[in-house]
Structure 1
Amino acid sequence: MEKMNQALEKMKMLVGMEVEEEDEEQTSGPSRDSSSFIDDFNRNCALSSKQRLYGFAICFVSGLACTFLSMLVFFHPIKFGVTFTFGNLLALGSTAFLIGPKRQVTMMLDPVRIYATALYLASIIIALFCAVYVHSKILTLFAVILEFGALFWYVESDA
């Protein structure tokens, strides 16, 4: 029974439930006036575990669908670049449902991940630039390959 409780506590921590409880305890004291906008936003937008999982699933599946559907319009660089990038951003943002947006940004800016995050965000901008401004299929393809590599490095940087 104790192992089950420990597993449940670990799952709650991964989902971010304990983080919210700690935030509530911290803001109930005298430091409530100095809380930031993001803390207020997180407190007012508390989601249940079921809502978090639904939000994650919907956002992640939508991101994967956009990414795979972008392959159908590969020969139209503008449509491809926008659809592919939007799909990647949806898939990346889906994890914010599980752990919360503040913790997501904190993890992205962690010293272990900062270079991978910077390269990933830069590759997204480069892919959009090549697709929308340059209209080059070859450069867009290279930018997307760079984006895949940066995403892989980002995912593996914490492992």
Structure 2
Amino acid sequence: MMDKLRRFQQSLLGWEEDQEDDFLIGSDCSCSLSPLQRLYAFAVCLVAGLAFLLLSLIVFARPIKFAVMFSFGNLLAIGSTAFLIGPVQQTRMMLDPVRIYATSVYIISVILALVCALWIHNKVLTLIVMVIEICALIWYSLSYIPFARRMVSELLISCCDTDLS
């Protein structure tokens, strides 16, 4: 089974047999999970995160519950990739100079959304921070697609650029 999984992974990613950097083993070799267990953990964590995201839409009218469920779902979904590439590599990728600002804004907005929802109990402030969190998540996600942030920036500039003369 593991051999089939490894061959499928290599064919999918175009890797050679003797390539050292195994995607499922990652750079964090201290993990005691097998590659198949890591795939299962990734899938479970991702599905749970997506379930929380979908369930948060049901309670959208209640900003405090929405903020908690949405933020927790986002953290689960993003954290799921740590099972595939390892937490050390995940952290390195998040702190890469290309996405350090998006990561910082995203993490701060998640923390602020939870603080506004759980301690301050201010619905308006919670919604404002949630909008910032969603925008930061989109901007962070676009950093993994080559030239995506530049295209979106140019599109927004061209849409917002109006000639008033």
TM-score range, shorter chain: 0.7 to 0.9
2:138 alignment counterpart: 152
- 1:9-36 alpha-carbon deviations (Å, 9 max, x no partner): 499847243635xxxxxxxxxxxxxxxx
**What is the CA–CA distance in structure 2 between the aligned matches of 1:147 and 1:74, rounded to whole Å?**
15
2:77 alignment counterpart: 91
Matched, 1:15 2:23: yes
2:152 alignment counterpart: none
The percentage of counterpart residues that share the same residue type is: 52
Q: Normalising to structure 2: TM-score of the pair?
A: 0.70
- How far 1:136 sits from its partner (Å)? 2.8
**What is the CA–CA distance in structure 2 between the aligned matches of 1:5 and 1:65, rounded to whole Å?**
27
Give yes or no for contact 1:12–1:18 (8 Å, CA) kept in 2: no
**What is the CA–CA distance in structure 1 between the aligned matches of 2:69 and 2:46, rounded to whole Å?**
14
Q: State the superposition RMSD in angstroms.
A: 2.7
Identify the structure with the greater helix proportion. 1
**What is the CA–CA distance in structure 2 between the aligned matches of 1:156 and 1:112, rounded to whole Å?**
11
- More off after superposition, 61-70 vs 78-87: 78-87
Give yes or no for contact 2:24–2:38 (8 Å, CA) kept in 1: no
Matched, 1:117 2:124: no
Q: How does 1:34-113 map to 2 (within 5 A)?
A: 42-43=29-30, 45-113=31-99
- 1:31-82 alpha-carbon deviations (Å, 9 max, x no partner): xxxxxxxxxxx42x23322212111110001001111111222333332222
**What is the CA–CA distance in structure 2 between the aligned matches of 1:155 and 1:71, rounded to whole Å?**
20
Figure out how many residues of one structure are paired with residues of the other and give that number. Answer: 135
- The letter for the 1-side match of 2:115 is F
**What is the CA–CA distance in structure 2 between the aligned matches of 1:6 and 1:15, rounded to whole Å?**
9
Give yes or no for contact 1:14–1:99 (8 Å, CA) kept in 2: no
Unaligned runs of 5+ in 2: 1-9, 146-165
**What is the CA–CA distance in structure 2 between the aligned matches of 1:75 and 1:133, rounded to whole Å?**
19
**Do the aligned partners of residues 131 and 4 (structure 1) sit closer, same or farther apart at CA in structure 2, a change above 3 Å counting?**
closer
Give yes or no for contact 2:27–2:88 (8 Å, CA) kept in 1: no
**What is the CA–CA distance in structure 1 between the aligned matches of 2:12 and 2:103, rounded to whole Å?**
34
